Amino acid sequence: MTNKIIKSGKPLNGKAVIPGDKSISHRMLIFAFLAEGSSEIRGLSRGDDVKRTAAAIENLGANLEHLLSSQDSNGDNVLITGGLSRVKEPTYPLDMGNSGTGLRLMAGVLSRFDFLSILIGDDSIHRRPMGRIVEPLRQMGARVDGRVDGTLAPLVIRGGGLQGIDYAPQVPSAQVKSSILLAGMGAKGTTVVREHTATRRHTEEMCQLLELPVEVESVGQSLKVSLQACSVPPFNLDVPRDPSQAAFVAVAASIIEGSEVEIENVYLGPGRDGFLRVLLDMGANIEVHKRTDNTADLSVKSANLQGTVVTGQLLADSIDEVPVLAVAAAYATGETKFLDAGELRAKESDRLVAIEEGLLRLGVAAKIEGDNLFIEATGRVPGNLLTGEKIMCRSFHDHRIAMALSVATMAACNESASNQVTSELEIDDFDAVDTSWPGFIEAFATLQQN
């Protein structure tokens, strides 16, 4: 576990190099594992979370070959040879590290196969709720066990003989939906997932892209997905840039005076554009240049932000970006409210607690009431960042908390013209950032040099 010292930064200028989308990278690896033949994926995320999924499918029989990537790329190009004919029982437990997405998606995949498999992870993963996927997978016919009656990892799975179900998850979660759909691809009959509040659609989009038998019906905020058993063809695809990582650059460029940044080819499909809508509601200066229906280039300039309210569908669509949006709120004028945000408690950390603690240490008026987070700010740099003293903050071994606190500290440069002495921030367990964005600090340093 490595601590990191973060100092006041400089304005950000130039073109940001953002990693490939982590959620899409997981799913492309899994679909390539199931596809009979060779698939090429370009721009794959280099984060440890995705590497865990890559290692898991290799341990299950897929062959993965790294191809040459361009020097300015922030992603990997890989050739994967997979197919059901290659699948084998894993010799050892599959270690998914800190990846809740990887573990939950792989649980759905492994439920298809009549052999024993065990999914483990780090301490954080072993505290995260797994009953939300175990219940529907058991209903489909898989034998799944774990600690506390399968509600906590490690998960022990013996699958096969699955039957499609009609299921409505109690908690909006793309991971739960995807786990059920991935199991349903190998189940008899039709598998249906009904979401009262629609979540990101990466698994459905992969099915549509590969012309698999999926139907997606959207009514208001709800979503119904129906899927038949199917085989997966090999494919050749590019991974778009990760909006959750782009959000850190977009917030930093918005709150650091004099910044002007371009972010290319960002995925902004259903369930992933929430951070952008929140920032625009706050008055951010962001131009969106569409590339395709689901991708766009973003031009971001610094702006004076105002407080806003984030709840309902907008919260669901920006749930992973709340830590850095809270930093935007800390530099905005007025109050920002994140309402009914209980799902933040079930992430890599209890993010409500982690955000509140981090902002309070920076000198921001932040408070939790129930599952609501309130942030009151003046549009100025938080006071504790101007004392000249070192501030200690916990990352809770959560990559998004560590990165969000880093962005908050970099923006202390806004007060340099008034000869204020800025503080240093020491963040513990900063290596958690490698789960999603190795090279995060270096990417910002490059933008500060332009």
Three-state SS letters, 260-293: EEEEEEEECCCCCCHHHHHHHHCCCEEEEEECCC
The residue type of 37 is G
The answer on 99 and 34 residing in a single domain is: yes
The answer on 379 and 318 residing in a single domain is: yes
The answer on 292 and 220 residing in a single domain is: no
H/E stretch holding 178? helix 174-184
The answer to the question of residue 87 being in a domain is: yes
The answer to the question of residue 235 being in a domain is: no
From 227, 251, 283, the end of a domain falls on 227
- Measured CA to CA, the distance from residue 439 to residue 19 in angstroms comes to 9
The answer on 386 and 246 residing in a single domain is: yes
From 206, 227, 248, the end of a domain falls on 227
The answer on 205 and 292 residing in a single domain is: no
Burial 206-232 (b: 16+ CB within 10 A, else e): bbeebebebebeeeeeebbbbbbbbeb
Catalytic: which of 76, 242, 273, 320?
320
The answer on 31 and 160 residing in a single domain is: yes
Q: Which of 132, 133, 146, 85 is nearest to 107 (CA)?
A: 133
pLDDT at 421: 75
The answer on 54 and 112 residing in a single domain is: yes
Active site residue 145: no
Pair 2, 429: CB distance under 8 Å: yes
The answer to the question of residue 233 being in a domain is: no
Pair 446, 14: CB distance under 8 Å: yes
CB proximity list for 310: less than 8 A, separation 6 or greater: 278, 318, 322, 325, 336, 337, 338, 339
The answer on 104 and 170 residing in a single domain is: yes
Taking residue 248's Cβ as centre, other Cβ atoms within 10 Å add up to 26
The answer on 292 and 427 residing in a single domain is: yes
CATH number at residue 68: 3.65.10.10
The answer to the question of residue 232 being in a domain is: no
The answer on 304 and 202 residing in a single domain is: no
* Number of structural domains found in the chain: 2
Domain that holds residue 276: 4-19+240-449
The answer on 259 and 124 residing in a single domain is: no
The answer on 250 and 196 residing in a single domain is: no
Task: State whether residue 151 is helix, strand or coil.
Answer: coil
The residue type of 401 is I
The answer to the question of residue 72 being in a domain is: yes
Per cent of the chain over pLDDT 70 is: 98
| pLDDT tens digits in sequence order for the chain, 450 residues long | 799 999 998 999 999 999 999 999 999 999 999 999 999 999 999 999 999 999 999 999 999 999 976 545 678 999 999 999 999 999 999 999 999 999 999 999 999 999 999 999 999 999 999 999 999 999 999 999 999 999 999 999 999 999 999 999 999 999 999 999 999 999 999 999 999 999 999 999 999 999 999 999 999 999 999 999 999 999 999 999 999 999 999 999 999 999 999 999 999 999 999 999 999 999 999 999 999 999 999 999 999 999 999 999 999 999 999 999 999 999 999 999 999 999 999 999 999 999 999 999 999 999 999 999 999 999 999 999 999 999 999 999 999 999 999 999 999 998 754 556 788 999 999 999 999 999 999 999 999 987
Strand order in the sheet with 391-393: 4-6, 425-427, 391-393
